[in-house]
Amino acid sequence: MKTLIIAEKPDMGRNIAAAIDPKAKNHRSYIEGEHYIITWAIGHLIGLAEPDAYDDRYKKWNINDLPIIPDKFKLIPNRKTMDQLKVIADLAKRSDRLVNSCDAGREGQYIFSLIQRHLKLSQPVKRLWISDLTPETIRKGFEELREGSEYDNLTKAATARSEADWLIGMNGSRAFTTKHNVLLSVGRVQTPVLALIYDRQKQIEAFSSLKFFELEGHFAQGDMTYRGMWQGERMTDKEKADALAAKVKGKHGRIASYEVKDTKEYPNKLYDLTLLQREANGKYGFSAKKTLDVAQALYEKHKVISYPRTNSNYVTEQNIPEMHKTLNALQGTAYDEFVKGANRGLVHKGNKFICNPSRVEDHHAILPTNRKANGLNPDEQKLYDLVVRRFLSQFYPAAEYKVHTVITEVEGESFKTTVKELLSLGWKVIYADQKKDKPKATKGKEKEDSAEEEEIEVSEPFSILASEGVTCADAIVKEKDTQPPKHYTEGTLLKAMESAGKQIEDDDVREAMKDSGLGTPATRAATIERLKNVGYVEMQGKKILITQKGRSAIELIRGAGIELLTSPEMTGMWERRLNEIARGSASDQQFMDNVKKFATMIVDKVRIQSRASKNLFESEAPAQGKSTSGKGKAAAGERTASPSGGSRARSTGAKSASAPTGGVAVQAAPTAAQPSIIGVCPSAGCGGSIFMGRKGYGCSHYKEGCKFVIWKESYGRSLTDGQVKSLIEKGKTAKLKVTLQDGTQTEGRIVLRNETTGELAIE
């Protein structure tokens, strides 16, 4: 009998095989050597069954059948990956020991747990827990395999998370959809995130701009010139501002006070996933999902960074020697000059800014590995560069400044000047070639408007004599307007999600809030994508704007008296409780009991709510079909609920069976002001026309129940009208470059698998 190693994805399985058994034979769906058989899960092979698995009556959406609360949750295989599940089942029969080599985190633990439960695998389990995929790390990880039972509490937390999401998403979505006769998606995490966007939008709309005036004095003392801002109540009267300017212009003044102090700016913390996503969004406009996908490729495919799905900005003592090895490995690369200037003595076990084991739970901060980065595409190179520069900055001293604070008095009026004189660049030399576009790292509250005094940064020496007079060479009145709150970008929304919606700008306070954030670093990107996919938000450049459908959803939920469902703080507390379950300090059973009560309360509140008027959603396209007709069937997680019956995983290859953050995704109906007709609907007996909508190609007979739709974004491609025309007329496209479910890129034809639903496949 051999040991069966189950990895999460094919790339990881191949990496493990190459490291521990390079002579093993590749059998396509598994790799077998003398002692080991290595296979993989391709993400979620198994998920929670839908309601009709418990009772046929749940095939129809009926509010009188709610809440749906299973005594024991049933599991169901993902039909698209059943072949691989069968491979694992057959291999397990030839094995007397299992090694869980799925990703080292809650979701990876859950994927293995579902396989183990569904296939009823009883072999003893060992756990591989590693943070990067270099051969050295893999081999070391196998030398230090842990007992699978050590992670039982993490499995309990993962299971509780998935089942809680099912209960809230399934019951909430069915309740609101059937009550209001429009497809509405509700989720334990997605709804509070939508509420954040809604509340910010309302603040922006309620904002009334106020015109005000600033007075800037220009002063001279010998050859030294400087600027200062007038200190006093905000001026809304231009005549008063002009009078003050005339009063001081050309007059002599004195230095009322002059303070100089030395300050240091230390390197920014190492990246966790959320911080990396925020900065990649700010600098490159990457969506949170794109950053996660690119980071995962750098980790799995290229093996040049450590495990990216981490919530820690610190490392442990064991990582310090590895950091020094990585620094040496960067010699001779594009970063060679920075390596030469590095001070290795700054990165040591006693540096608590870097090495703080108490702040590392499952995974340390994102680090580059000692592997050479070759063959990176442009986006991978950009993200890798962010990680490497942040890493290198830890080997450099603090930037040093002399901060001059001057109060200048002219004709009884005070002006404040703050000059930050650079003494030594320190770690900022790493970013000297990017100074213009480098995102500013602010600590404490960001300045809300320009009425605050300006800080002037200079590289040349600044010095004045406090005992000598000055002249106000000029006085300039500047007209300003107060600014409304800014729309969320993906970067700022991630920041709000991390701190459970509390607008905390101080990094240390936000750090303390991490255990009660919305979702996890690994799932926040999926939540944002889901809000886009269900039509609740749309992008305008980097801005996230709420749609009418999104507004109505929040207003209906709050109107039903279920404010709790939109509360980031409450959901953050749930996430913290899941972390406590993972640590063994809280009961998963008690958590689930509370979730069941909450799901029941949602249904009870919606049942007595008045039905919304039809014009509440007028600016939105009518949904395809109506769940209230009793033909709908909900699907948990990221699966798409087909409004008029059945459900299917999105053809883009997304993980389907139990998405990380819950909620039922709702199909957006194709629409256009003047629809472009592509052809005749291929669904038997329909006779409708296929037209292009915002997210896909749908049938003009959707009101009559036709559920045919082809999503525009399928298999890594944005389908053209011509390709869709070919699909509905010929059943297939020409050969294309496509992306499979496991992320593999290949060539093949996209074919129309189901003429009734528009489901696609690859040939």
Residue pair 125/100 in contact by the 8 Å Cβ criterion: yes
Show the tokens assigned to 187. Answer: 């989720």
**Residue that the structure tokens 């993490």 belong to:** 154
- Distances 736 to 75, 131, 713, 754 between C-alpha atoms, Å: 35, 35, 14, 20
Q: What does the alpha-carbon distance between residue 663 and residue 637 come to, in Å, rounded to a whole number?
A: 6
Cβ neighbours around 111 below 10 Å, total: 27
Can you tell me the distance from the alpha carbon of 295 to that of 298, in angstroms, rounded to the nearest whole number? 5
- Please, are residues 236 and 365 in contact by the beta-carbon 8 Å criterion? no
Neighbouring residues of 613: CB distance < 8 A, sequence distance ≥ 6: none
Catalytic residue, candidates 198, 299, 307, 702: 307
Q: Is the distance from CB of 191 to CB of 457 less than 8 angstroms?
A: no
Neighbours of 745 (CB within 10 A): 10
How many other C-beta atoms are found inside a 10 Å radius of the C-beta of residue 455? Answer: 12
- 455 strand-pairing partners: 418
Neighbour order of strands in the sheet with 146-147: 25-26, 30-32, 36-40, 2-7, 95-101, 125-127, 146-147
CA distances from 289 to 299, 309, 416 (A): 15, 12, 44
Which residues lie below 8 Å from residue 715, measured CB to CB, with a gap of 6+? 651, 652, 653, 738, 739, 740, 750, 760, 762
Q: How far apart are CA 16 and CA 324, in angstroms?
A: 24
Burial of residue 256 (CB within 10 Å: 0-12, 13-18, 19+) is middle
- How is the beta sheet containing 696-699 ordered, strand by strand? 677-680, 689-692, 696-699, 709-711
> What Cα–Cα distance (Å) separates residue 761 from each residue in 78, 157, 630, 680?
15, 35, 29, 20
Instruction: Work out whether strand 470-481 and strand 537-540 pair parallel, antiparallel, or are unpaired.
Output: unpaired
307 flagged as catalytic:
yes
- Reduce the DSSP state of residue 7 to 3 states and report it: strand
Q: What is the CA radius of gyration of the chain?
A: 29
The token duo for 178 is 């059937």
Give catalytic residue positions. Answer: 307
